[in-house]
Amino acid sequence: MGNYKCVNGELTVNFNPTKCIHAEHCANGLSEVFSTSILPWINLEASSHEKIISQIKRCPSGALSFLHKISA
């Protein structure tokens, strides 16, 4: 199973399933963005970049990461 990338303008979210421990911190903390029941399971349109980044930083396994291009 390969890595999953989701891109929305200035924000790129990467998911590495081999690192995921299925603690569901992402879905429990920001369910409008991270869903365990629908595909695609990451919806970057559902919340602000700041909230998404904050939730990704709580991922205990490091399976979720991000790249945020800040506009100049």
pLDDT value at residue 1: 59
Which are the contacts of 8, defined by CB distance < 8 A and separation ≥ 6? 44, 45
Contact 29, 55 (CB under 8 A): yes
pLDDT value at residue 72: 45
| pLDDT value at 71 more than 80 | no
What digits encode the pLDDT tens for the residues 7-64?
998 999 999 999 999 999 999 999 999 998 887 889 999 999 999 999 999 999 999 9
Show the domains of the chain with their CATH numbers.
4-68 (3.30.70.20)
Contact 50, 33 (CB under 8 A): no
Contact 20, 67 (CB under 8 A): no
Q: Cα dihedral sign for 36, 16, 62, 12?
A: negative
